[in-house]
Structure 1
Amino acid sequence: MRDVRGAVEADPMDGYAWDGDQWWTPESVREWWRDRKRILEYLRDQVREWERYDRWIPDQRAVEGALDFAAYIAGGTDSGSLETDLRIYLYWLQERRSPSPADRLPEL
């Protein structure tokens, strides 16, 4: 989390803007989820290219990040799964509040 916060503070283009809820809708989240295979294919195809970057730039770890992200999309890691996180986000988009443990999460 410290690294993400550092990236937000250092981002000169405001790429980590806090306006995602203005652009994402339940329909667009579901559409992205249905098309996630395309992201997994992209990550797989880029690993060889990113292996070169990892050799050139110490501590780059692009391949490690790509593989971690692919695992997160594909079904989960020790820190959770994208499917669960997107269902929580869908709840937020629909209800404008975080779900409680008793709330039923929407389907993707």
Structure 2
Amino acid sequence: MTYWDPIPALAALEPDPFLPEGPWSGRWQERNWRNVPGPFYGADTDTCLTGRLHAPDLVLYEDEYAQEFVYRQPRNPAEVADLFMAACEEAFGGYGHDGDLHWTPDLVRDWWRDRGRVREWAMGVGWGAWATSGSGWQHDAAAGARGYVTYIDRGLGDYLRGYAFRLAEGRPARPGESLPELGA
């Protein structure tokens, strides 16, 4: 699998006239540790529970304050548009799109080595109190957390290998090129 760069698709979107500087004022230093490596991340977001309304396959809520984070990077232009809408709806402008300036192949490998922490968190949300809650948003977020566990177990490693290549080489891998290992 080759890495698909979502940033050109983002550049093609019409800017929101109410957000002349765009919705991307999230700070890397404030990003949520649950964000999957990639260009997009949730940092100091609000707690209004709007992210999954627009990007349910990309955004989750953390369990303490329901702040938003990106658990899957966009895989096509439609998903970039969904994440853009989630970022536009987020009142604090807490999403960032400059992850490529900060992630390195070594940091991606470090995140992968520590994925058990993220997986354990997602297991607790996906099969814990939110899963049996009568609250619609908690039930939906629990389903998203279960999807995150599945992604960690199947697919995320391949994505991260492609992303690490992209970070190291400045371009996606060509068919047949070796991708870097992530470690255990």
State the TM bucket, normalised to the shorter chain.
0.7 to 0.9
Instruction: Look up the match of 1:67.
Output: 146
Query: For residues 179 and 142 of structure 2, what CA distance do their matches in structure 1 show?
Result: 32
* Larger relative contact order (CA 8 Å, sep ≥ 6): 2
- More strand per residue: 2
Does 2:116 match 1:49? no
RMSD of equivalent CA atoms: 2.1
Q: 1:52: how far off? A: 5.1
CA 1:58/1:70 → structure 2, altered by over 3 Å: closer, same or farther?
closer
Q: 1:59: how far off? A: 8.6
1:97 equivalent among 171, 177, 181: 171
Do the aligned residues in 1 keep the contact of 2:130 with 2:139 (CA within 8 Å)? no
CA 1:25/1:7 → structure 2, altered by over 3 Å: closer, same or farther?
same
Runs of at least 4 residues off by over 6 Å: none
Across the two proteins, how many residue pairs are aligned to each other? 102
Q: 1:71: how far off? A: 0.6
TM-score by length of 1: 0.80
Instruction: Look up the match of 1:106.
Output: 180
Q: Structure 1 vs Structure 2: percent identity of aligned residues? A: 36
Where structure 2 has 5 or more consecutive residues not aligned to the other structure, the ranges are 1-78
Where structure 1 has 5 or more consecutive residues not aligned to the other structure, the ranges are none
CA 1:15/1:96 → structure 2, altered by over 3 Å: closer, same or farther?
farther
Instruction: Look up the match of 2:92.
Output: 13
Query: For residues 51 and 43 of structure 1, what CA distance do their matches in structure 2 show?
Result: 11
